[in-house]
Amino acid sequence: HIGNEHGLLFHFNHTPVSAQSPISIASEMKLINAALAMRLVELDYVGLDDLLSNWLPWWPTALTDSRSGITFRHCLSFTTGFYAPTDIPVQLDGRPYSFDSLSGPLFQWRENSCKHLSTMRCARKVLKSTPHIAPPGELWTYTTDHLRLSAAVMVAATGQTFNKLLRTHVFDRTSPRMQTTIPYPDYKFWNPGSNVYSTARDYQSFLDAYFNGRLVSAASQQIIESDEVLDVRVRWFIGAPRVGRPEDVGNFGFGVWRSVPKLRKLNPGWCGYEQPCSFAPSHYESTAVLVRSWGEEAPKVCRWKHSQSCKFYYHIQNFGTDISVNAFNRNQQLCAQVENMVSRILSGASDPWSCVHWTAEDKQVISATNNVPEVQRGLCLKKSEVSTQREFGFRGPNPSIVQPAPGCDPCWCCQRPRFDIHLE
């Protein structure tokens, strides 16, 4: 699915699957949780900088306990200072290798321990069982424990269950309504960051409503998609520490990853080749991408021909069973290709070619020679060199000496308006 400010632009599926086929969206649930959180902030139920102890009476308050300083914002940005050892490979949770050799009751916490625990009981378990290894705001770790705490705050602030909040403030406010997004069958309660089934149609409804400001305001979207690890000293991911972050490069918002062209010049990735993006990849099965920029990163003027915003979103679901590194890389490459293709289409850079209408002067030059094709090619090349508004291409019987302009046959010289997908 691909869409922008005009709604859904394109969708494609390959049988036997359809837009209604269920698939695990895993980490794409994190963006749904972020949208719900900011909706409640907008309604003044809770503040981003509220301490957890404001809403959870059993939360530590002693100044000597670093957990007392954790805020709602820390939970949404994964900077509470908690980490969660698990019984699955360390790569999936960002657990520091330095803790691998530890054992005992304190380190028996499991990501799936909350399958049958209510939101509040699950948050209590995080407090009891998950080590707090850094002051809030100093350490970033990729674990759902942060969002389990955020869910508890939302439940406490509203007096409603997490399921009720999701349906009232997200699912029932999309068009069409989200009806097929559900927890895994063996989960009695929602995991706010994963373990969820959905369909392409349901998640597209969410993305379109979110992208176009029908769930939360543009100001809230900017907060969700902006860099929240500016001041983080260490990030733990894929089992190894990364000190700080790449210079001048965004990394993580409220449950969503970020990328910018400067980072993509260093190495390939999911998106961000032409302009900043936010994305939620779910292993090898599903990826949601928001290609747009905010604030100082945003272009001063959008000069794209078919978009007033220079922004779009897309959602890819892969129903294959290949979970190899090659499959991971192929999905990244597919995302990069989609970003480039949609940017070229919306900018006008891929608009159809049309035949050049020769001027009277051109016709006079052409009629003065017997080598008409070569003369026409030369005239076309000259136009290409001097024009800043149009680009020119050639079609002819000898592909080795002409510049292709697809769809322009039988013209010798073809033209189209020049639109650059790059933004300034």
pLDDT at site 320? 59
**Calpha distance 26→104 (Å, rounded):** 29
- 3-class state of residue 252 by DSSP: strand
In the block, which residue shows the tokens 């959602």?
315
CA-based diameter of the chain, in Å? 93
**Calpha distance 238→215 (Å, rounded):** 33
Residue 35, both tokens: 């949208």
In the block, which residue shows the tokens 């916490």?
109
Q: Is 42 exposed, middle or buried (0-12, 13-18, 19+ CB in 10 A)?
A: middle
Q: What stretches of 23-165 adopt beta strand conformation (E)? A: 23-24, 139-141
- 3-class state of residue 366 by DSSP: helix
Residue 295 CA to its chain's centroid (Å): 17
Could you report how far apart the first and last alpha carbons of the chain are, in Å? 27
pLDDT at site 85? 47
pLDDT at site 202? 95
pTM as predicted: 0.85
Query: Do 134 and 74 form a contact (C-beta atoms < 8 A)?
Result: no
Going from the first residue of the chain to its last (424 residues), give the mean pLDDT of each consecutive group of 10, the final group possibly shorter. Answer: 92 77 88 98 98 98 95 96 54 35 39 82 91 87 90 98 98 96 93 92 96 97 91 66 52 90 83 90 81 86 89 84 69 89 90 86 84 79 84 69 66 80 68
Query: Do 14 and 131 form a contact (C-beta atoms < 8 A)?
Result: no
In the block, which residue shows the tokens 């050049």?
356
**Calpha distance 175→415 (Å, rounded):** 41
Residue 133 makes CB contacts below 8 A (sequence gap 6+) with 81, 82, 83, 96, 139
pLDDT at site 398? 62
CA nearest neighbour of 162 among 254, 32, 282: 32
pLDDT at site 327? 72
Query: Do 192 and 33 form a contact (C-beta atoms < 8 A)?
Result: yes
pLDDT at site 387? 85
